[in-house]
């Protein structure tokens, strides 16, 4: 397992999803908590299907002579209310999976990114490579671009601090 990193990965180190060690310890804890919350939500959403299956198992154990015909109709309505939406979701899900399987047959979708070195980025934007290395380590910065798309100035800090508190919600 990867060791927790500094939380400030170099762009050449890849995606966080490929290298969880790039996350800092607090970020990892938040990731684990969010994952647990999502799994609990998924299990909660499966609850109607579990209840339906449990109801089917229990109905086989009870004597049908004890039930009134009206209760049978009501139970069938409840069964329909649970089964039809679940069946529709299942059909849509399996259909979508089959369509994607057909669309992307023989092709790998998870291609790795091509790495771009700092020299080519600095050459493209016409900035000093040493400044670019320094900027990559900053957590927040504001970059002003010219009309032609080249870097005119770089300011350390957030956009709110750069524009001032009164224009903080400027889009």
Domain boundaries, the chain: 11-103, 118-167
Residues in the chain with pLDDT values less than 70: 1-18, 59-69, 109-111, 164-171
Residue range 122-143, pLDDT digits in tens: 888 888 888 888 888 888 888 8
If we measure between CA atoms, which residue out of 113, 140, 50 comes closest to residue 86? 50
Q: What is the pTM of this model?
A: 0.33
């Amino acid at each position: 397992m990867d060791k927790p990193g500094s939380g400030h990965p170099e762009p050449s180190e890849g995606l966080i999803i490929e290298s969880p060690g790039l996350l800092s310890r607090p970020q990892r804890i938040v990731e684990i908590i969010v994952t647990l919350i999502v799994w609990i939500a998924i299990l909660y959403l499966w609850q109607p299907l579990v209840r339906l299956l449990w109801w089917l198992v229990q109905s086989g154990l009870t004597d049908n002579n004890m039930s009134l015909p009206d209760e049978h109709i009501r139970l069938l309505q409840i069964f329909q209310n649970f089964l039809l939406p679940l069946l529709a979701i299942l059909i849509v899900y399996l259909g979508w999976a089959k369509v994607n399987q057909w669309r992307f047959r023989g092709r790998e979708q998870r291609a790795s990114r091509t790495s771009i070195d700092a020299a080519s980025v600095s050459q493209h934007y016409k900035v000093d490579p040493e400044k670019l290395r320094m900027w990559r380590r900053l957590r927040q910065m504001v970059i002003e671009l010219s009309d032609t798309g080249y870097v005119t100035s770089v300011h350390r800090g957030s956009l709110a601090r750069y524009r001032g508190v009164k224009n903080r919600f400027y889009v």
